[in-house]
Chains A and B, each alone.
Chain A
Amino acid sequence: MEKKKSSFNSAKLIDFIKKYAMVIVLAGVLIFFAITTGGKILLPMNISNIISQNAYVFILTTGMLLCILTGGNIDLSVGSVVCFVGAVGATLMTMPLGSATSHLPIPVVILAMVLTGIAIGAAQAFIIAYIRIPPFIVTLAGMLIFRGLSNIVLKGLTISITDYTLFVKLFGGGADCFIPDLFNLKGNLNIPFNITCILVGVIAIVIYIASQIITRAKRIKKGYEVEKFVPYIVKMILITAVIIAVTVQLSRHKGIPTVLIIVMAVIIIYSYITQNTTTGRYFYAVGGNEKATKLSGINTNKTFFLAYMNMGFLAAVAGMVTIARMTSAQPTYGMNYEMDAIASCFIGGASAYGGIGTVPAAIIGAVLMGVINLGMLIMGVDQNMQKVVKGIVLLLAVIFDVVSKRGFKIIAKN
């Protein structure tokens, strides 16, 4: 086993920075805001808020990553689709059936919303993948079409869904959309923690550590190479620490926001798909070199189709989350959501040319954006200035990505 000191040199440092750049930046930004806001950003309520407020970003970022992987293509229609699916959902939910008090059951509404999203995704995907119209154009058209249709469906009005508590609690990130504490010691024994939340955190840590150890043991047994021991342990400790910190803060607030379950499910499922399935492989292959992929016997049209259809599906999920959090549907919802998702992916190191990027990294990009948003909000930074800062962050992140891959040569060869 090598000693940490002896293996330390500048080439390794550069590799390390390249690999964990955004994590380092995120930590730096958190520390910066912790100081400038007097620790307010780390308060339980704010940690909880970063999750609930940005739930839609996490979900959309995951879908957008797949599109970007296929070759740096983006889906501009996402925000409008979120709004449209929300509008359809709210309309169906509040539609009187016979008598004024009977309505469609919530599961039916959810199904309808999901199907709407998938249908929209599939339609755009077909045009992109099989007719081969550039995604930029197709989704730009989609952005206009579904923004307009949202307005038409809602007749330009707001539909409130405050009364549909089951739906709101299921998808919401609002005031009391939390997983109830099964033990409820808070009230009885005056313990300031949500025990259910702590329990879930502990289970998560156990599963995480166990899976790490098992994989490593398996690899060693079969004689495959493994990560060096010290970085492996350090990484494990750091991730565990983050889980603990988040869990404790959440439990001191109101517990696990229900929307976190949805977000985690999306992240885990899509991380798995991209890393462990053949379908996931194809996204990387197509974006890395479409011709080579075709000549490897892979159906590239289908791969493009899946990426954009899936984006429609995740836009529908984000649509549910959005109207649940707002407890209403409005024609202006979802404005600029696509930009948040695109920015998160690129900040998270996805290549603008396709073929490179991971779900966890893109999520870190999204968290970074969320932290910057909230931090500036707490600091009372002017709205317009916030946009300026976000723009600069996006630009710097992508410049850093490109330049570091060139071996830190700033100017490209002519």
Chain B
Amino acid sequence: MAKILLEMKNITKVFPGVKALDNVNLQVEEGEIHALVGENGAGKSTLMNVLSGIYPYGSYDGQIIYNGNECHFTNIKDSEALGIVIIHQELALIPYMTIGENMFLGNEKGQKWKIDWTETYGKSEEYLRTVGLNESSHTLIKDIGVGKQQLVEIAKALAKNAKLLILDEPTSSLNEKESQELLDLLLKFKKEGLTSIIISHKLNEISYVADKITVIRDGSTIETLDKKVDDFSEARIIKGMVGRDLSDRFPKREKNIGDICFEVKNWNCYHPVYTEKKIIDNVNINVRKGEVLGISGLMGAGRTEFAMSIFGKSYGEKISGTIIKDGKEIVLNSVQEAIKNKIAYVTEDRKGNGLILSNTIKFNTTLANLDGVSKNGVINSDKEYAVAVDFKEKLRTKCPSVEQNVGNLSGGNQQKVLLAKWMYADPDLLILDEPTRGIDVGAKYEIYCIINQLASEGKSVIVISSEMPELLGTCDRIYVMNEGRIVGEVDGETATQELIMSYIIKSDN
């Protein structure tokens, strides 16, 4: 029996309104590759943030025992000093600095007042060779591809004397060949004694590389599988990841589905910066009147990008394809035109792209349809107030007054204000992107009720969600999306999470 390098015991982490981790236990042996799997929002990243000190000691309950000693990390520096290094999904490299500068950022070679550049670049080259990257350490980060950047991140971790390397979705932005190389590199390091924890959605990769798999679901550890004893098939892992009952978490709805009223045909879209990279690949979808349509997929599948590119081309370059609404082809070149054609997109990022946090509920409610409360550009403040109060009551937004700043509301109530804003724009088609992200169970239920209400009024609703149970519970029909393509279409009544997952995995291979 190998030595236990890391043990996390009974970790509980509570965010306002949400219990993100509930008595999670994790044991990692020295020299193994330990995979952490679970759905989006299951708590994997939160657990790793606890481990690396991003959530400091005291902000969670439970114990972290590393190398036999209990640790109280107050920031990342503390954990890095012991050789625990985390590589986040979003790479933390600075584009306009060289590989060498990036590699020792915050960990500079030389004295405090004098950086030793010879040493910096010399060492960089060494580490680059270790990870098999054939680039000069003077190259700017922006000039190398994402795959190579990922390798630089790993080299950077090694430069910090990593003993325990944590990789959060390391292959999510890599192509197949790059992913394979990365995984082989991890296996090579394992032979040299490095311990790694890898978080990934790509189960085939995990089966390939991991010695043990810990499954997390809804903030709790479900099980730990061992390669030597257990079945490591994807089906077995999925069974651990999903498999919860869906009873009563979703309100029932009278279905009254009409004709197809919105269609997108042969939709293509490229990345706004790397314009040769195809983000959306020949997507065809249709929605009926009164239908709730789901789009399922893992993070980075291109769902948000697809929705935003439809919504007045607010994402992407070189967009092509046709949109047909109520039998007529329409062209949406701007958000204004999309709104005029009665289409609304409710963003997944309510704080970043959705709300004006520094202003009131009233202000936000009418922002997308100021014409509705104004005449010749002059706002009728009485009417505006009435509209805001009306929505506040209809959606049961909890707030002392509609003059309250949105920034002071809880996530669920902010989401309701965001919904109110788009409902007031009176669209025929609402695209809801992750409508229940980061809000508690009670508020989720209320959001589902609003979705049902909208559908029964004859509106079409598209729900984009990473939570499969949510889609299964609310949607009439679900498209499965992966890597910018629609890879499957399932019926909401009969579909299962396993079925959706299998579509995704089939398309990965």
Establish whether residues B363 and A281, one from each chain, have CB atoms under 8 Å apart when the complex forms: yes
Q: Which residue of the partner chain, among A218, A219, A298, A356, contacts B367 with CB atoms under 8 Å?
A: A298
Tell me the residues in window 336-380 of chain B with beta carbons closer than 8 Å to chain A beta carbons: 336, 338-339, 345, 347, 352-359, 363, 367-368, 370-371, 374, 377-379
Q: Which residue of the partner chain, among B357, B371, B374, B401, contacts A289 with CB atoms under 8 Å?
A: B357
Set of chain A residues within 8 Å of B393, measured between Cβ atoms? none
Residue with the highest number of chain A CB atoms closer than 10 Å, among B347, B356, B357 = B356
Q: Which residue of the partner chain, among A222, A277, A293, A355, contacts B382 with CB atoms under 8 Å?
A: A222
Establish whether residues B356 and A292, one from each chain, have CB atoms under 8 Å apart when the complex forms: yes
B319 contacts partner chain A, Cβ-Cβ < 8 Å: no
State how many angstroms separate the Cβ of A251 from the closest Cβ of chain B: 35
A225 contacts partner chain B, Cβ-Cβ < 8 Å: yes
Establish whether residues A299 and B370, one from each chain, have CB atoms under 8 Å apart when the complex forms: no
- Give the residue name and chain of the A residue nearest to B380 (CB): A276
Number of A-B contacts (CB under 8 A): 82
Q: Which residue of the partner chain, among B368, B379, B389, contacts A296 with CB atoms under 8 Å?
A: B368
Set of chain A residues within 8 Å of B311, measured between Cβ atoms? 295
A193 contacts partner chain B, Cβ-Cβ < 8 Å: no
State how many angstroms separate the Cβ of A289 from the closest Cβ of chain B: 5
Whole-angstrom distance between the alpha carbons of A187 and B487 in the complex?
A: 93
CB 8 Å contact bits of A282-297 with B (1 = contact, 0 = none): 0011001101111111
Whole-angstrom distance between the alpha carbons of A272 and B382 in the complex?
A: 15
Establish whether residues A293 and B356, one from each chain, have CB atoms under 8 Å apart when the complex forms: yes
Establish whether residues B358 and A356, one from each chain, have CB atoms under 8 Å apart when the complex forms: yes
CB 8 Å contact bits of B401-441 with A (1 = contact, 0 = none): 10100000000000000000100000000000000000000
Set of chain B residues within 8 Å of A218, measured between Cβ atoms? 382
Contacts A297-B336, A297-B338; is A351 near B347 (CB within 8 Å)? no
Set of chain B residues within 8 Å of A240, measured between Cβ atoms? none
Set of chain A residues within 8 Å of B403, measured between Cβ atoms? 225
Whole-angstrom distance between the alpha carbons of A218 and B354 in the complex?
A: 33
Whole-angstrom distance between the alpha carbons of A285 and B374 in the complex?
A: 16
Establish whether residues A351 and B358, one from each chain, have CB atoms under 8 Å apart when the complex forms: yes
State how many angstroms separate the Cβ of B304 from the closest Cβ of chain A: 12
Contacts A281-B370, A285-B367, A289-B355; is A295 near B379 (CB within 8 Å)? no
B495 contacts partner chain A, Cβ-Cβ < 8 Å: no
B335 contacts partner chain A, Cβ-Cβ < 8 Å: yes
Set of chain B residues within 8 Å of A219, measured between Cβ atoms? 382
Set of chain A residues within 8 Å of B314, measured between Cβ atoms? 294-295
State how many angstroms separate the Cβ of B301 from the closest Cβ of chain A: 21
Tell me the residues in window 291-337 of chain B with beta carbons closer than 8 Å to chain A beta carbons: 311-312, 314, 334-336
Set of chain A residues within 8 Å of B355, measured between Cβ atoms? 289, 292
Contacts A295-B345, A297-B368; is A276 near B359 (CB within 8 Å)? no
Whole-angstrom distance between the alpha carbons of A160 and B385 in the complex?
A: 54
CB 8 Å contact bits of B172-187 with A (1 = contact, 0 = none): 0000000000000000
Establish whether residues B377 and A278, one from each chain, have CB atoms under 8 Å apart when the complex forms: yes
Contacts A292-B354, A351-B358; is A277 near B377 (CB within 8 Å)? yes
A151 contacts partner chain B, Cβ-Cβ < 8 Å: no
Establish whether residues A278 and B386, one from each chain, have CB atoms under 8 Å apart when the complex forms: no
A91 contacts partner chain B, Cβ-Cβ < 8 Å: no
A8 contacts partner chain B, Cβ-Cβ < 8 Å: no
Tell me the residues in window 247-278 of chain A with beta carbons closer than 8 Å to chain B beta carbons: 276-278
Whole-angstrom distance between the alpha carbons of A298 and B364 in the complex?
A: 13
Tell me the residues in window 206-250 of chain A with beta carbons closer than 8 Å to chain B beta carbons: 218-219, 222, 224-225
Establish whether residues A281 and B379, one from each chain, have CB atoms under 8 Å apart when the complex forms: yes
Set of chain B residues within 8 Å of A222, measured between Cβ atoms? 382, 386
Set of chain B residues within 8 Å of A355, measured between Cβ atoms? 356, 358-359
B381 contacts partner chain A, Cβ-Cβ < 8 Å: yes
CB 8 Å contact bits of A54-80 with B (1 = contact, 0 = none): 000000000000000000000000000
- Give the residue name and chain of the B residue nearest to A289 (CB): B356
Residue with the highest number of chain B CB atoms closer than 10 Å, among A224, A289, A293 = A289
Establish whether residues A277 and B379, one from each chain, have CB atoms under 8 Å apart when the complex forms: yes
Tell me the residues in window 71-120 of chain A with beta carbons closer than 8 Å to chain B beta carbons: none
Whole-angstrom distance between the alpha carbons of A297 and B336 in the complex?
A: 4
Set of chain A residues within 8 Å of B334, measured between Cβ atoms? 297
State how many angstroms separate the Cβ of A394 from the closest Cβ of chain B: 22
State how many angstroms separate the Cβ of A277 from the closest Cβ of chain B: 5
Tell me the residues in window 294-351 of chain A with beta carbons closer than 8 Å to chain B beta carbons: 294-299, 351
State how many angstroms separate the Cβ of A219 from the closest Cβ of chain B: 8
Whole-angstrom distance between the alpha carbons of A351 and B358 in the complex?
A: 10
State how many angstroms separate the Cβ of B364 from the closest Cβ of chain A: 9
Set of chain A residues within 8 Å of B354, measured between Cβ atoms? 292, 295
A279 contacts partner chain B, Cβ-Cβ < 8 Å: yes
Establish whether residues B358 and A288, one from each chain, have CB atoms under 8 Å apart when the complex forms: yes
- Give the residue name and chain of the A residue nearest to B375 (CB): A278
Residue with the highest number of chain A CB atoms closer than 10 Å, among B312, B370, B386 = B370
Establish whether residues B382 and A296, one from each chain, have CB atoms under 8 Å apart when the complex forms: no
Q: Which residue of the partner chain, among B339, B347, B359, B382, contacts A284 with CB atoms under 8 Å?
A: B359
State how many angstroms separate the Cβ of B91 from the closest Cβ of chain A: 22
Set of chain B residues within 8 Å of A285, measured between Cβ atoms? 356, 359, 363, 367
Establish whether residues B367 and A296, one from each chain, have CB atoms under 8 Å apart when the complex forms: yes
- Give the residue name and chain of the A residue nearest to B370 (CB): A278
Whole-angstrom distance between the alpha carbons of A285 and B312 in the complex?
A: 19
Contacts A277-B379, A281-B363, A291-B352; is A224 near B335 (CB within 8 Å)? no
Set of chain A residues within 8 Å of B312, measured between Cβ atoms? 297
Set of chain A residues within 8 Å of B401, measured between Cβ atoms? 225
Establish whether residues A281 and B367, one from each chain, have CB atoms under 8 Å apart when the complex forms: yes
- Give the residue name and chain of the B residue nearest to A353 (CB): B358
Set of chain B residues within 8 Å of A225, measured between Cβ atoms? 401, 403
Whole-angstrom distance between the alpha carbons of A403 and B43 in the complex?
A: 34
State how many angstroms separate the Cβ of B315 from the closest Cβ of chain A: 10
- Give the residue name and chain of the B residue nearest to A278 (CB): B370
Whole-angstrom distance between the alpha carbons of A299 and B358 in the complex?
A: 20
Establish whether residues B335 and A296, one from each chain, have CB atoms under 8 Å apart when the complex forms: yes
Residue with the highest number of chain B CB atoms closer than 10 Å, among A225, A278, A292, A356 = A292
- Give the residue name and chain of the B residue nearest to A218 (CB): B382
State how many angstroms separate the Cβ of B342 from the closest Cβ of chain A: 12
Set of chain A residues within 8 Å of B358, measured between Cβ atoms? 288-289, 351, 355-356
Whole-angstrom distance between the alpha carbons of A219 and B384 in the complex?
A: 12
Establish whether residues A277 and B378, one from each chain, have CB atoms under 8 Å apart when the complex forms: yes
Set of chain B residues within 8 Å of A351, measured between Cβ atoms? 358
- Give the residue name and chain of the A residue nearest to B337 (CB): A297
Q: Which residue of the partner chain, among B339, B353, B378, B379, contacts A297 with CB atoms under 8 Å?
A: B339
Subset of 20 A-B contacts with CB under 8 Å: A218-B382, A219-B382, A222-B382, A222-B386, A224-B386, A225-B403, A277-B374, A277-B377, A277-B378, A277-B379, A281-B379, A284-B359, A284-B363, A285-B359, A285-B367, A288-B356, A295-B314, A295-B335, A295-B347, A295-B353
Nearest 6 CB-CB pairings of A with B: A288-B356, A296-B368, A297-B339, A297-B335, A297-B336, A278-B370
Given contacts A289-B355, A297-B368, 4 further A-B contacts (CB under 8 A): A284-B359, A294-B335, A295-B314, A295-B345
